[in-house]
């Protein structure tokens, strides 16, 4: 019987400790949520008052689009695969992609690399 009471006391203490530890982050989150709600309310009020004054509000600039991934030609990929570390391979592949975007052909890039070695 004593073991059951000690077990129940341990479980109760654990639950209380978890509840107590979770209160601080929840309070901080409530403060952040309240702040963001206030900021949203102010922004909406400004927008509505601008519309009432018939102001023209330009649309938000479009987010910059990332360029599509460009696969390296086979001969350049073989040169990249010769490097041991993943970081070196990544740097070389990026370097080759920049050169290709600059208008160099894979053969020209290979010639430059051979001349540089």
pLDDT value at 3 more than 90: no
pLDDT value at 4 more than 90: no
Burial track 74-86 (b if 16+ CB lie within 10 A, e otherwise): eebeebbeeeeee
Give me the DSSP letters along 57-92: -PPPPPPPPPPPP-PPPHHHHHHHHTSSSHHHHHHH
Residue spans per domain, the chain: 1-65, 74-116
For the segment 16-48, what is each residue's pLDDT rounded down to a tens digit? 888 777 777 777 788 888 999 999 999 999 888
pLDDT value at 54 more than 80: yes
Query: Over pLDDT 70: what percentage of the chain?
Result: 91
Q: Is 100 exposed, middle or buried (0-12, 13-18, 19+ CB in 10 A)?
A: middle
Place 9 in a pLDDT band, splitting at 50, 70 and 90: confident
- To the nearest whole number, what is the mean pLDDT of the chain? 84
Residue 56 has what pLDDT? 80
Q: How far is the C-alpha of 115 from the C-alpha of 117, rounded, in Å?
A: 6
pLDDT value at 75 more than 70: yes
Q: How far out from the chain centre does Cα 2 lie?
A: 54
94 close to 109: Cβ distance less than 8 angstroms:
no
Distances from the Cα of 109 to the Cα of 69, 82, 90, 98, angstroms: 19, 16, 16, 11
């Amino acid at each position: 019987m004593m073991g059951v009471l000690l077990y129940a006391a341990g479980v109760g203490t654990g639950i209380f400790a978890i509840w107590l530890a979770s209160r601080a982050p929840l309070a901080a989150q409530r403060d952040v949520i309240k702040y963001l709600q206030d900021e949203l309310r102010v922004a909406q009020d400004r927008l509505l008052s601008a519309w009432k004054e018939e102001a023209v509000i330009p649309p938000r600039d479009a987010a910059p689009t990332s360029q599509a991934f460009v696969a390296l030609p086979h001969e350049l990929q073989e040169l990249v695969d010769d490097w041991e570390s993943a970081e070196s391979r990544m740097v070389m592949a990026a370097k080759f992609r920049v050169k290709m975007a600059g208008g160099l052909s894979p053969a020209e890039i290979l010639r430059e690399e051979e001349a540089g070695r």
